[in-house]
Structure 1
Amino acid sequence: MGQMVMGTDGAGLNKSLGGWHLWGIAVGLVISGEYFGWSYGWAQAGTLGFLATTILVAVLYTTFIFSFTELTTAIPHAGGPFAYSHRAFGPVGGFIAGYATLIEFVFAPPAIALAIGAYLNVQFPGLPPKLAAVGAYGVFALLNIAGVTIAATFELCVTLLAIGELLVFMGVVAPGFRWANFAAHGWSGDAGPLSVPALGGIFAAIPFAIWFFLAIEGAAMAAEEAKDPARTIPRAYIAGILTLVALAFGTMVLAGGVGDWRDLANINDPLPQAMKAVVGADSGWLHMLVWIGLFGLVASFHGIIMGYSRQIFALARAGFLPSVLSRLHPTRRTPHWAILAGATVGIAAIFSDEVLAFGGQPLTANIVTLSVFGAIVMYIVSMASLFRLRRDAPTLDRPFRAPGYPWVPGLALCLACLCLAAMIYYNLVLFGVFVALLALGWLYCRLTAFRRPARGSDPVPEAGR
């Protein structure tokens, strides 16, 4: 058996994941973003405005991933950004990055679960979407508990099916694409690209462009379970971001040109509805998209459960969350309590209409935005950690070094700060919710972990150095 990374029960995570597994996790975590969520950006910016937003965000993610990979290979730790920031800035940095990542990964799954419910509702109109969403949590929480190799192999299979389905979607709708449809009302306020409404829409749509790529960094949380992470992680990340950029632009542009895109702007199932406009409601292509398209949602849902469970596990192991959440299943060696804890929070979010459905936005859109706040804060702290560790830990083994340093990570940092500023401006109340969640976490840490003597283990143990 491979090297084990210790939990609080004396045993640890098993190193069993290869390069294809990691690529499947990196792409699978994100690929649901091609199936839903992004179309809310059309409502903010129009099709042409949102295209501009997506180009900006694609540059952010490409530069970020090429930089983030340096951290992932230098410190292959289940806590991912928590570990890098703890190493660079101590407990406060670790807390900010760790809890921001936790918010990102705990609030993304309920949005995906609601989309799963919406897709199933197309086939079974009598099935309440929220009930289907809860059922999805039950099934995939149990699958993640069953074992990491089983879970990762399943993730790879459904990711490949989801990619194939997106390619089929593009091929089927391409004959119905018309640039005139895509460009009609293409800028917010029907104004020119440099008008105040158009520029405002471009910045307001940032969370939904980020949704195209959100959570690709979650593959870092499988680093402790990767075989030869110095070699497999860079390949998985670079191939993953290239795959996702191609799929994002192809899906968005073709879906927007098959009819009146405004009919797709505020729904959870834009791809089936776009295909319906081309092939009709009774086509076998449409039913295939609904059924096979579920694999895209399932890939991300299942993968992000894997990601949040490792983040909860790492935070609990370091004393930033209750220690029970770092216990591993006695036979499966998976963080079962962490998986169940994240599922509980996610199910609560699904039924949080009275709390999170406000500001004229659908519940799903607000959950997406809250998750994106966590991601952007984590990106900023991670890039700051890269610069700090380059200065303070020059001898740290770096199997992969960020190309174009300091310009490439510097561009990622600047774009992330720009995105955060725009998101705060357009989503002030949701930012308040995000800050409140961080404050609750900080209060817990002040009352418990930070006042507690060291538990005999470094928050970033040698396996992660």
Structure 2
Amino acid sequence: MNNPNSPTLKRSLSLKYVVFFGLAYMAPSTLFSTYGVAVHGTNGMISTAYIVALIVMLFTAYSYAQMVKAFPNAGAAYTFTQKSLNPHIGFLVGWSILLDYLFCPMISALLAGIAMKAYFPSIPMYIWIIIFIITITIVNILGITVAAKFNTAILFLQFGTFALFITFSIKGLLNGNGAGTLYSILPFIDSSVNAPDFMSVIPILCFSFLGFDAVTTLSEETKNPRKSIPRAIYFITIIGGVLYIFGSYFLQVVWPDYQSFKDPESAYVEIAMYIGGNFLASYILAEGIMSSFSSAVASGTSASRILYAMGRERVLPVKVFGYLSPKYRTPVYNILIIGGVALSALFLSLTTAVSLVNFGAFFAFTFVNLSVISYFYFRKKQRSIMGTIRYLIIPLIGATLTGFFWVKLDIHSLMLGGVWLALGFVYLLNLTKMFRQPPPELAFEEAQ
């Protein structure tokens, strides 16, 4: 049992800040940095690919929304599967989702370091990475309200980037640049598209939607979480999807010949220079660095709450992972650990980190969808016509889609993720004395 006099997470977030937090984690402006590689894989049907990714994510967002109503605790996917399916499966899902939250700050640090190195080539990249990690660690230690306000400010810079880019795009198109028209089917239809290549890009684009799930880790710091968190999940997914679809549409119509980029990884810089000169290119690069800060703060916050939920109930050592600062009411040790993991940006590649994150995300998404079926359809016997649609058919479609894309990940992702999962399984064996006793479970007073 927890000491009633020990510090607890503070309910201070309104729906507005939860939505901003999720969008900040999602960092919608990453559309620009991933565009060049993604548009090649989709053979130019980039907007259609984002529509498919949005549909896939909406099914899973639905399942997250249902489960958070039943279990408004900080453990998110870990809690959902633990309570609905099996404690051992819940542990492994929690273990896998840690890949997302632990490595996302590292990815942000690496992207920021690369960008700053381009601006200041005389300064070693590791200096920028260390400064970046120290900054996000301090922001997260100071508290959830500080982190939320920090993320909100940077998020509106991202909205400004989209508005500025679309304005320059429309001006260029009306002047006859690019496709020379505001209306084109190029980003949606291409008769020569290769279906397997097209589908292989969807998991990468789904990675861009990570953020809707992160807000479920804030349930214990949100006012009226059963109402606010489900709304936030839908808002975040839909707003992100709309930004990606419209942004990718204009990226392609202003530069239809996507195969002519000098470097696909920096294609957005060429496009920005083409339609807006040095001003737009510099603005997008600078804002990209700021959005890396925002995403890292959000993902670090989520990771620390997952570790806290697991530490509080002694799934992980409670003295470290279950500790809250009496002053800031934040899991300080967890935040420091996450900062330490983010330092792996000094030697790990971006490909390795993204591979691990994709594996953890799709593994957890699949089991959250299955949790809805187990909890509502079988345990709560919600088997009316509407109940069957809501608690069997919809989540089953979601589980099928995410499961399909999980097994379709590249061999690099599957191997690295499999090693991480195997390590979690070994730890689970030790924790449960070879399954002779159940793993510790999260406290559940609130959901009762």
Shorter-normalised TM range: 0.7 to 0.9
The correspondence for 2:296, drawn from 301, 311, 314, is: 301
**Alignment partners' CA distance in 2, 1:389 and 1:435:** 27
Name the counterpart of 1:357: none
Task: Give per-residue Cα distances to partners, 1:341-391, cap 9 Å, x unaligned.
Answer: 122222214412xxxxxxxxxx32442232111111100000111110013
**Alignment partners' CA distance in 1, 2:139 and 2:406:** 35
Change (3 A) 1:170 1:102: same
Change (3 A) 1:422 1:183: farther
Structure 2: which amino acid aligns with 1:76? P
Asked if residue 258 in structure 1 is aligned to residue 254 in structure 2, the reply is yes
Name the counterpart of 1:416: 402
**RMSD, matched Cα:** 3.2
The correspondence for 2:236, drawn from 216, 235, 240, is: 240
**Alignment partners' CA distance in 2, 1:256 and 1:43:** 11
- Aligned to 1:463, the other structure's residue is in SS state coil
**Alignment partners' CA distance in 1, 2:447 and 2:37:** 39
The correspondence for 1:202, drawn from 173, 198, 201, is: 198
Name the counterpart of 1:360: none
TM-score, scaled to structure 1: 0.84
**Alignment partners' CA distance in 2, 1:246 and 1:298:** 23
Equivalent residue runs for 1:402-441 within 5 Å: 404-423=390-409, 427-441=410-424
The correspondence for 1:289, drawn from 281, 284, 288, is: 284
Name the counterpart of 2:12: 16
Name the counterpart of 1:44: 41
1:454 Cα offset (Å): 9.0
Structure 2: which amino acid aligns with 1:434? G
Sequence identity (%):
19
Which has the larger displacement, 155-164 or 176-185? 176-185
Asked if residue 384 in structure 1 is aligned to residue 381 in structure 2, the reply is no
- Aligned to 1:12, the other structure's residue is in SS state coil
Change (3 A) 1:430 1:242: closer
Asked if residue 461 in structure 1 is aligned to residue 444 in structure 2, the reply is yes
Name the counterpart of 2:65: 69
1:272 Cα offset (Å): 3.6
Which has the larger displacement, 376-385 or 443-452? 443-452
Contact 2:187/2:249 (<8 A) preserved: no
1:452 Cα offset (Å): 11
Asked if residue 98 in structure 1 is aligned to residue 94 in structure 2, the reply is yes
**Alignment partners' CA distance in 1, 2:288 and 2:207:** 17
Change (3 A) 1:214 1:37: farther
Change (3 A) 1:73 1:205: same
Contact 1:328/1:334 (<8 A) preserved: yes
Structure 1: which amino acid aligns with 2:169? V
Structure 1: which amino acid aligns with 2:296? F
Change (3 A) 1:70 1:375: same
Structure 2: which amino acid aligns with 1:258? V
- Aligned to 1:47, the other structure's residue is in SS state coil
Name the counterpart of 1:367: 353
Change (3 A) 1:105 1:79: same
**Alignment partners' CA distance in 2, 1:449 and 1:9:** 29
Contact 1:320/1:449 (<8 A) preserved: no
Change (3 A) 1:456 1:109: closer
Asked if residue 29 in structure 1 is aligned to residue 12 in structure 2, the reply is no
Change (3 A) 1:365 1:254: farther
The correspondence for 2:311, drawn from 316, 338, 343, is: 316
Change (3 A) 1:239 1:183: closer
Name the counterpart of 1:355: none
Contact 1:27/1:244 (<8 A) preserved: yes
Structure 2: which amino acid aligns with 1:74? A
**Alignment partners' CA distance in 2, 1:446 and 1:13:** 30
Contact 1:43/1:265 (<8 A) preserved: no
- Aligned to 2:209, the other structure's residue is in SS state coil
Unmatched 5+ stretches in structure 1: 353-362
Contact 1:108/1:371 (<8 A) preserved: yes
Name the counterpart of 2:136: 140
Name the counterpart of 2:104: 108
Asked if residue 165 in structure 1 is aligned to residue 144 in structure 2, the reply is no
Structure 2: which amino acid aligns with 1:85? T
Asked if residue 444 in structure 1 is aligned to residue 427 in structure 2, the reply is yes
Asked if residue 344 in structure 1 is aligned to residue 340 in structure 2, the reply is yes
Change (3 A) 1:239 1:456: closer
- Aligned to 1:16, the other structure's residue is in SS state coil
Equivalent residue runs for 1:156-195 within 5 Å: 156-176=152-172, 178-179=178-179, 192-193=192-193
Structure 2: which amino acid aligns with 1:238? Y
- Aligned to 1:54, the other structure's residue is in SS state helix
Contact 1:78/1:314 (<8 A) preserved: yes
Task: Give per-residue Cα distances to partners, 1:77-126, cap 9 Å, x unaligned.
Answer: 11100001000122212112101210111122222222222333343233
Task: Give per-residue Cα distances to partners, 1:41-84, cap 9 Å, x unaligned.
Answer: 23433322x44432221101112212210111221111100001
Contact 1:207/1:368 (<8 A) preserved: no
Structure 2: which amino acid aligns with 1:376? F
1:340 Cα offset (Å): 1.5
**Alignment partners' CA distance in 1, 2:388 and 2:353:** 32
Name the counterpart of 1:356: none
1:147 Cα offset (Å): 0.9
TM-score, scaled to structure 2: 0.87
Task: Give per-residue Cα distances to partners, 1:288-311, cap 9 Å, x unaligned.
Answer: 333334332222121111111111
Name the counterpart of 1:218: 214
Unmatched 5+ stretches in structure 2: none
Contact 2:110/2:345 (<8 A) preserved: no
